[in-house]
Chains A and B, each alone.
Chain A
Amino acid sequence: MSVTLTERAARHVANFIGKRGKGIGIRLGVKTSGCSGMAYKLEFVDETLADDIVFDSHGVKVVVDQKSLVYLDGTELDYVREGLNEGFRFDNPNAKNQCGCGESFNV
């Protein structure tokens, strides 16, 4: 099982952690809510928890809790630019359909 970052995403994460001044990595997760059942979580990590699984992707620590990993296995996080807006996008092979906003999905 694994969760990865694209090289571009890893570069941006490292950059943001540097500017923020603290943090050991990035947390990807899901929580049950939203219009399609599940919602993505994307947070800085200051400390890992007991049931966390840690991956390394292009030198960046990617932290996922065990429950979320079931829904995120195989996911690749990318950093993209759309017009003036730029940010992270989950490419999740488990997601069957997404709501239009892309912030929630179901499996």
Chain B
Amino acid sequence: MALLQIAEPGMSAAPHERRLAIGIDLGTTHSLAATVKNSVAVCLADEEGRVLVPSVVHYRGDGAIEVGHAAVAAQPVDPRNTIVSVKRFMGRGLADVAHVETMPYVFEETPGMLRLRTVQGSKTPVEISAEILRVLRARAEANLGGELTGAVITVPAYFDDAQRQATKDAARLAGLHVLRLLNEPTAAAVAYGLDNAAEGLYAVYDLGGGTFDLSILKLTRGVFEVLATNGNAALGGDDFDQRLYCWILDRARIAPPSATDTRRLQMKARAVKELLTVSDEAPCQLRLDSGESIDLAVSRAAFFEMTRPLVQKTLAPVRRALRDAGLAPRDIKGVVMVGGSTRMPHVQRAVAEFFGQEPLTNLDPDRVVALGAAMQANALAGNRKAGDHDWLLLDVIPLSLGLETMGGLSEKVIPRNSTLPIARAQEFTTFKDGQTAMAFHVVQGERELVADCRSLARFELRGIPPMTAGAARIRVTFQVDADGLLSVAAREASTGVEANILVKPSYGLTDDEIAGMLRAGIERAGDDLAARALREQQVEAERLLEATARALDADGGLLDAEEHARIAAAMDELRILVAGGETARIATGIIALARASEDFAARRMNRSIRAALAGHKIEEL
């Protein structure tokens, strides 16, 4: 028989209509699920009381699949078939993943997302993640005594469309209905904001296993708004482990270890790191399969020193996010720490020094994201009374979305840091007379030239009725849903012909690309503006040349040979200037050609007026 939980006043569900919803933090190192029970968010534990599920999947030779702690045990024995940190592969191609050479896996390069060859066949990161989600779903259903209505799953703020879509696909594969994808820092703010009811500007510093995110959030009267996000998609606790692992290898002076020994050493490095959070020195003793043995002591000071550059690396995105939001460190009322890696004392100290205040650590940094996701899931499933805690979540898009226009320029349709969901439309027109089709190239990034932005998708609109250049009106609508997924539609106004595209997983951005693209956008703003001005003049010159050539074809008879030659010379001159690539000189050439053809244009005008008037009496007009 079902057991009952206490509902909010007036919110008792009818029998069989209880809406069980959970929040899932699908992490690089650990995953966990939480739910709201008796009006309080709680994490869901297994039979042994463990909340965290290591994000590790072991494909066994006998066809069984182990997930979590059992898979961790298999790591040293069967590294090739034991997948750790699969989140780093979500929505990524092989070229996008760092340190591939140090990983014990057999990768397959396939278009779009990479695959891993295991003893149970070729697996996508989506399938592997789904195994973790399946375990959490089963745990939740056992805990809650019924089938789930849905789940809110968190993703790093910097996940792009491909990575978000991959996460949704994994959930669907695991039989979960995704109520919403939620940015991890936003989820953390939900947990802190509602539990502590604190208003003001906050920074969420999230150093997880594999990713670093910083978000600036504004909390007012229970409304969350993300003012800015920034981060590094390839920086996390794993890198601290890696740094320590390299240091141990270097000190121990041993031969390059086997795959099994490598994995054991990496696990040892992580254990030493965790021990150094609470003690000043940690022993590192290990007997390797190769017969060699390691016996070292690692001091906290040495560990801090070797990983100091990593800690410093986290502060660059912090500065960029503050600059984006137009804020100084002193404007921040509190700093929320998320992710197990923020337990490291020197990380906390660096953050405290930067902001001039102690960061908030009163919620467990490993659980805070899941707890916030559970609260959001509970609200989305309809278990809260309207008006009671009537809160809204506003997220932002991390990189601008735009279209390629003539001359390879990027026209931004949705600027970055716009709040989600959002729809924006812009009108475009044809460049040539009689143009019946238009190609759209959707790009993402801050730079002015398309070549410097990231290509997301291409599609075509066909069936535009032939018109003179500039007469067609094509309305292009960009829509980003609450999960951060983009759809683009183009519609020609007079005929209603339509084309649209849903941006689906293609390649993820390479590891440093997101941070790099943002940095470049700021640092190269001057160059970009100059480049844009040049392209604009070039496009204008080409348009004028085309129009003049067309006029000469049609009405060349109005000119004598000398006049004709003068216009032709001005056209030749302009063509040379366009190729020369100097903005100011092209502008001069455009004016020169316009002058040279002024008289011709006037004569053409008179002639068409005469033609229109010929044979008509004054009264008829």
Contacts and interface: CB of A to CB of B under 8 A. Distances in A.
Interface in B468-499: none
Contacts of B9: 27, 43-46
Interface residues of B, number: 28
A39 to B, nearest CB: 5
B588 interface: no
A39 B14 contact: yes
B353 to A, nearest CB: 34
B16 A16 contact: no
Nearest to A46: B9
A67 interface: no
Interface in B1-20: 1-12, 14-16, 18
B4 A42 contact: yes
Contacts of B142: 83-85
A98 interface: yes
Contacts of A39: 12, 14-15
Nearest to A29: B12
A93 interface: no
A41 interface: yes
A80 B4 CA distance: 10
Contacts of A31: 12, 14
Contacts of A102: 1-3
Contacts of B384: none
B12 A98 contact: no
Interface string B21-56: 000000000000000001110001111000000000
Given A16-B38, A16-B40, A104-B15, A88 B8 contact: no
Contact of A89 (B4, B16, B143, B144): B4
B8 to A, nearest CB: 6
B49 to A, nearest CB: 10
Contacts of B16: 34-35, 101, 103
Contacts of A69: none
Nearest to B46: A84
Contact of B1 (A35, A42, A101): A101
Contact of A87 (B15, B46, B145): B145
B6 A44 contact: yes
B3 A84 contact: no
Contacts of A104: 15
B3 A80 contact: yes
Given A43-B7, A43-B11, A103-B15, A19 B2 contact: no
Interface residues of A, number: 36
A62 interface: no
Contact of A86 (B3, B14, B15): B3
Given A16-B38, A87-B5, A43 B139 contact: no
Nearest to B44: A84
Given A27-B9, A43-B9, A44-B8, A85 B3 contact: yes
B15 A89 contact: no
Interface string B359-388: 000000000000000000000000000000
Contacts of B12: 29, 31, 39-43
Contacts of B144: 85
Contacts of A98: 1
A103 B2 contact: yes
Contacts of B15: 33-35, 39, 99, 101, 103-104
A106 to B, nearest CB: 12
A26 interface: yes
A51 interface: no
B125 to A, nearest CB: 29
Contacts of A46: 9
Contacts of B3: 80, 82, 85-89, 102
A12 B7 CA distance: 14
Contacts of A96: none
A62 B47 CA distance: 32
A92 B1 CA distance: 14
A44 B145 contact: no
Given A16-B38, A33-B14, A88 B4 contact: yes
Contacts of A26: 6
A24 to B, nearest CB: 11
A73 B551 CA distance: 97
A82 B7 CA distance: 20
A38 B415 CA distance: 55
Contacts of A90: 4
B1 A13 contact: no
Contacts of A13: 6
A105 B39 CA distance: 25
Contacts of A84: 44-47, 139, 142-143
Contacts of B7: 41-44
Nearest to A83: B142
Given A43-B9, A84-B139, 14 more contacts: A34-B16, A44-B9, A45-B9, A82-B145, A84-B44, A84-B47, A84-B142, A84-B143, A87-B145, A88-B4, A101-B15, A102-B3, A103-B4, A103-B18
23 contacts: A16-B6, A16-B39, A20-B40, A26-B6, A34-B16, A35-B15, A39-B14, A41-B12, A43-B8, A43-B11, A44-B8, A82-B145, A83-B142, A84-B45, A85-B3, A86-B3, A88-B3, A89-B3, A99-B15, A102-B1, A102-B3, A103-B2, A103-B16
9 residue pairs, one from A and one from B, having the closest CB atoms: A87-B3, A102-B1, A103-B15, A34-B15, A85-B145, A16-B38, A41-B12, A84-B142, A104-B15
